[in-house]
Amino acid sequence: MRVPVVSLTGHLGAGKTSLLNHLLRTPGARLGVVINDFGSLNVDAALVTGQVDEAAAISGGCVCCLPDSGGLDDALEKLSDPRLRLDAIVIEASGAADPIALSRLVRFSGAERIRSGGVVEVVDAANHFDMVDTWPDPPARYAAASLVVVGKTDLVDDPQTVVDRIRERVARRNPRAQIVVARDGRIDPALVFDVASTEDLIDQLPIGALLREGAPAHVHVHAVTIPLPHAVAAGGLVELLEDPPAGAYRIKGRVRVRGGGGYLVNLVGRSIHVRSHRFDGPGELVAIGIDLDEPAARDRLAAVAGGVEADAAGLRRLQRYRRLSE
């Protein structure tokens, strides 16, 4: 299994650390964190049990500090060690970081046990158009984002107008990016990683459990799951990944393909990851999204489940994604 690496970007003060701390409070989650903030360790110290080199001390969260852009591959290699059993790795980038460049660093990283988990761009609604989006053309950074989290809407006079303007500007660069409005970074963790449990099973970090008690709620995403008892046509699977249902931000699943064996598939935003995968029992497909059209998603997944004919052309397309994912 490859560990998804999520890049958390945004201007200085946009709210990246609030969002990261919210994710770290997720019950049952094991997250690795890479901080590239010019030496400033700005994650709540109470949520951190040890540095990345102290693997025995890592439980709910582990941190590797990067003083500059160097060392990222080494950090990702260490954090993706299977012994850590991390659900995801989050890179909290400096406010000066270029999301496009960071996305490329992750995509072409030499670390072998990771995959791209998308770019989450955090936007400060109160200051965004004074500090970031200041030119006639929308900033290029929007093109890298798979998810845009708009915060601090409580600090503007007309939140809906500001959010609509952000939506319009982002869509001009990146029509596939999804946008969610969140207070203090409280997004549903299911948008970012799979949570193994809704409760702390073995929490070696008692302060983490205390911080999670009474934590503010977030708006939950919608999800649709379809079992796959039989092998399916490769073409239908590829079409689902290339053109997901309305509102689907993530698609994941274990799929047996007619004439092609088993695969583990992941879609985050526009990023498609496919790898060969042997497994027992039936497969499944899951679609997750903020404004997911559940009936339409269920129909699309069911159509994939019902496509059982061998499809040589579709298998070639699927194998291409597998090669690109290596």
What CATH number has the domain bearing residue 268?
A: 3.30.1220.10
Question: Same domain for 175 and 227?
Answer: no
Positive/negative CA dihedral, 295, 217, 14, 43 = negative
d(CA 257, CA 311): 9
> Residue 161 in contact with residue 47, Cβ under 8 Å?
no
Quick one: how far is CA 31 from the chain centroid?
Answer: 12
163 closest CA partner among 191, 119, 124: 124
* 38 is a domain residue: yes
Q: Looking at 165, 182, 212, which one is the last position of a domain?
A: 212
Q: Looking at 212, 230, 259, which one is the last position of a domain?
A: 212
* 296 is a domain residue: yes
* 82 is a domain residue: yes
* 130 is a domain residue: yes
**Coil, strand or helix at 124:** strand
Residue 167 C-beta-side C-alpha neighbours within 13 Å:
10
Predicted local distance difference test score (pLDDT) of residue 70: 54
Supply the range of the domain harboring residue 24.
3-212
Question: Same domain for 145 and 203?
Answer: yes
Q: Please, what is the Cα angle at 220 between 127 and 212, to 5 degrees?
A: 85
List pLDDT tens digits, range 65-107. Answer: 444 445 778 778 888 889 888 889 888 887 878 889 888 888 8
Q: What pTM was computed for the model?
A: 0.82
34 closest CA partner among 5, 10, 55, 59: 5
Question: Same domain for 188 and 249?
Answer: no
CB count, 10 Å around CB of 158?
10
Place of tokens 């064996």: 261
d(CA 149, CA 133): 15
Please state the domain count of the chain.
2
> Residue 140 in contact with residue 170, Cβ under 8 Å?
no
Predicted local distance difference test score (pLDDT) of residue 36: 63
Predicted local distance difference test score (pLDDT) of residue 79: 85
Tokens of 69: 């852009």
d(CA 279, CA 28): 24
Question: Same domain for 118 and 169?
Answer: yes
Question: Same domain for 261 and 180?
Answer: no
The neighbouring-strand residues paired with 116 are: 5
Question: Same domain for 196 and 246?
Answer: no
* 117 is a domain residue: yes
* 107 is a domain residue: yes
d(CA 217, CA 223): 18
Question: Same domain for 142 and 235?
Answer: no
3-state SS, 303-317, equals HHHHCCCCCHHHHHH
Question: Same domain for 29 and 64?
Answer: yes
* 217 is a domain residue: no
Question: Same domain for 202 and 232?
Answer: no
d(CA 155, CA 188): 22
Tokens of 35: 């901080």
d(CA 48, CA 145): 27
* 199 is a domain residue: yes
Question: Same domain for 240 and 293?
Answer: yes
Predicted local distance difference test score (pLDDT) of residue 43: 45
Q: Looking at 193, 212, 231, which one is the last position of a domain?
A: 212
Domain CATH for 28: 3.40.50.300
Q: Which residues of the chain have pLDDT under 50?
A: 38-69, 197-215
Question: Same domain for 87 and 191?
Answer: yes
Question: Same domain for 55 and 188?
Answer: yes
